[in-house]
Structure 1
Amino acid sequence: MNLQQLRYVVATAEHRTMTDAARSLYIAQPALSRAIRDLERELGMTLFARSGRGVVVTAQGRRVVKLAREALDAVHEIEALASHSPAGTGELRVASPPSLEPALAARLLPAYAAEHPGARVQVVRCDGRDGVVNAVREQRADLGLTDLPVPADLVSHPLERQEIVLISPPGLDLPGSVAMSRLSGMRVVLPPPGSARRRELEMLFATHGVRPVVAAEIDERGGWPATVRSAMASLLGYRTMADQALRAGLVVRSLDPPLRRIIALVHTRRRLPATAQEFLTVAEGASAV
């Protein structure tokens, strides 16, 4: 057993699918599955059971996951001791909703890796702003990437204003800039009912007095371009999703009036690990706010 296997166990428990856990760890899914199987054989127990397209944690697995989190937290605290951890080494955990992961992957993570090649980064995928806040509060992540506002017990570092755009299949009779009123009656793709992102969008619709038609419900992970195309419906997402949309042959339009959210890195009011402080320094150096 090693720390890497413990990280894999925790990530799989948090994401509930091997594919999403592997993506958050930036490793291939077969490698993650193989590592989990090796650990299960070593321990003589089953940690995860197949459930549809994902996995569920077994009773034995829940105990292992709890202890693995405690062990990783202890290791993380040790690494955070500046007198024992050289700058630019150690592990950093950043919580992010799927809609903001492109901002991490395209700009922040490469910039950080360029200055601190010895550091490791784990992306903790969360359900919207509430999920990011909880991950940071519970110390499952050192930093969180989210839109503002966040509760007053967290410290925020604004990075940029991110535009919310309308992503649609080709062929729809829509202008280059779409008035909010046009969303009434429009077929849209939304996150699952009860999710934080769904609640945020429903509040947005209520604020502007529009009532779209729900054509499909997905969790905004990797398969959303195919759903937008097959359902002939539009999706509201951040501008950072535009590159993926355009590669899939979809059309990206601004809204009128433009909708923008301030994106920030957030953390609790505690002494940050050296890796987190270094990441903040890099991110704020590239800030557009």
Structure 2
Amino acid sequence: MNLQQLRYVVATAEHRTMTDAARSLYIAQPALSRAIRDLERELGMTLFARSGRGVVVTAQGRRVVKLAREALDAVHEIEALATQTHSGGELRLASPPSLEPVLAGRLLPAYVAEHPGVRVHLVRCDGRDGVVNAVREQRADLGLTDLPVPADLVSHPLERQEIVLLSPPGLELPDTVPMIRLNAMRLVLPPPGSARRREFEQLFATYGVRPVIAAEIDERGSWPMAIRASSASMLGYRGMAEQAAKAGLVVRSLDPALRRIIALVHVRKRLAGMAQDFLSVAESGTSA
């Protein structure tokens, strides 16, 4: 038995389907099923019974799930204690570059004003997946990302951010761009297979548009440079508007308006004092 198996048990119990649990854990469904079967064989008990397309927790399974949650909580608290001991008063925040304006514009100034003695270290991540992994692996105390996130993380919604179109100057587009105008438009997109790319592809399918892929960059890449070099547009957040303007780019709204919920996320544990203080400051000015 290992901690990974305990995480798998808890996720399966929460999602009630192997498919959804595997997706939340970013692993293949057969790998999750095999790990659960191995644990059941080791324990000599059945934790889950099939019910239609999902699973139900057995009587023995409910006890195991409860103890697994308690064990994982204890591990998180030990890790948090070690982190707090060795960090010397440092708060680690994970964020993709696209959401750094949220940190720099509102959250960090408010926190530093109340807690000037705490050092803040920014862990720059490639999109939501990167933030989730940084928080799970204890490389960050809190993560700033858009929702949804896997069920093993706790989320605290802060605000809704509008998705906008960032374009090079000179394109003949209205101030508010109908989604259908994205059809055949040259776009800079996230890398294939990334969570952000899958979401954009679903969005394009919903509105029946097929853009032309001009370039593919992750969130740590220089998007203003990519837009200019490829003479293409990119979907981003309204919070990126100031940086876009400095780079000489044009920011336009979309029709219909699209918004995403931005949240602070963390693992299911009792937060250390610095992280709890940051969360309290952030939630005091929430607009979600």
Q: Matches of residues 107-256 of structure 1 in structure 2 within 5 Å? A: 107-221=106-220, 223-256=222-255
TM-score under structure 2 length normalisation: 0.69
Structure 1 residues 74, 271: CA separation in 2 closer, same or farther (over 3 Å shift)?
A: closer
Q: Which amino acid letter does the alignment assign opposite residue 204 of structure 1? A: L
Contact 1:169-1:249 at 8 Å conserved across structures: yes
CA distance in 2, matches of 1:188, 1:141: 32
2:252 counterpart SS class? strand
Match of 1:76 in 2: 83
Structure 1, residues 176-195: CA drift from partner, whole Å, max 9, x if none? 10111111100011122233
Q: Matches of residues 265-276 of structure 1 in structure 2 within 5 Å? A: 265-276=264-275
CA distance in 1, matches of 2:157, 2:81: 29
Structure 2 gap ranges (5+): 1-78
Q: Which amino acid letter does the alignment assign opposite residue 145 of structure 2? A: T
CA distance in 2, matches of 1:150, 1:220: 17
CA distance in 2, matches of 1:136, 1:256: 34
Structure 1, residues 227-248: CA drift from partner, whole Å, max 9, x if none? 2123111010011110011111
Contact 2:127-2:219 at 8 Å conserved across structures: no
TM-superposed CA distance for 1:221, in Å, is: 3.5
Match of 1:285 in 2: 284
In the alignment of these two chains, the number of paired residues is 210
Q: Which amino acid letter does the alignment assign opposite residue 78 of structure 1? A: T
Greater than 3 Å deviation, 4+ residue runs: 72-75
Q: Which amino acid letter does the alignment assign opposite residue 259 of structure 2? A: R
Contact 2:160-2:259 at 8 Å conserved across structures: yes
CA distance in 1, matches of 2:259, 2:82: 39
230-239 or 216-225, which deviates more: 216-225
CA distance in 2, matches of 1:167, 1:286: 27
Contact 1:131-1:196 at 8 Å conserved across structures: no
Structure 1, residues 35-65: CA drift from partner, whole Å, max 9, x if none? xxxxxxxxxxxxxxxxxxxxxxxxxxxxxxx
Contact 1:164-1:255 at 8 Å conserved across structures: yes
Max radius of gyration: which structure?
2
Contact 1:154-1:268 at 8 Å conserved across structures: yes
Q: Matches of residues 46-61 of structure 1 in structure 2 within 5 Å? A: none
CA distance in 1, matches of 2:216, 2:248: 20
CA distance in 1, matches of 2:221, 2:150: 29
2:103 counterpart SS class? helix
CA distance in 1, matches of 2:220, 2:123: 13
TM-superposed CA distance for 1:200, in Å, is: 2.5
Contact 2:126-2:220 at 8 Å conserved across structures: no
TM-superposed CA distance for 1:117, in Å, is: 0.7
1:267 counterpart SS class? strand
Contact 1:167-1:245 at 8 Å conserved across structures: yes
Structure 1 gap ranges (5+): 1-71, 81-88
